[in-house]
Amino acid sequence: MSTESSTTDFVVQGMTCGGCASKVTGAVQAVAGVTDVRVDLSGGRLSVTGPVDEAAVTAAVEGAGYAVSRA
């Protein structure tokens, strides 16, 4: 793992379309410290870059209406 640009992966359940992906992306982008968000819709994966608080990311995704756990 790189310390310079750490990326944390999560598994998101319930994303079914591009709208879901952008909803999750927008919610996570609003979390403090997040510098990049990537969502893999088909794989149900979320990659968050930056010095982020996992609990804050989890809360953001859950707030958007999806179940999430660490990958």
| Number of residues forming the site for Cu ion (CB under 5 A) | 4
Q: Which residue stretch of 14-22, 31-39, 40-48, 51-59 sits at the interface with Cu ion (rule: CB under 5 A)?
A: 14-22
3-state secondary structure of 10: strand
CB of 20 to Cu ion, least distance (A): 3
Residues 18-57, interacting with Cu ion (CB under 5 A): 19-20
Q: Report residue 69 as tokens.
A: 């756990």
Residue 48 has a CB neighbour count (10 Å cut-off) of 25
CB of 10 to Cu ion, least distance (A): 17
Backbone angles phi, psi at 25, to 5 degrees: -60, -50
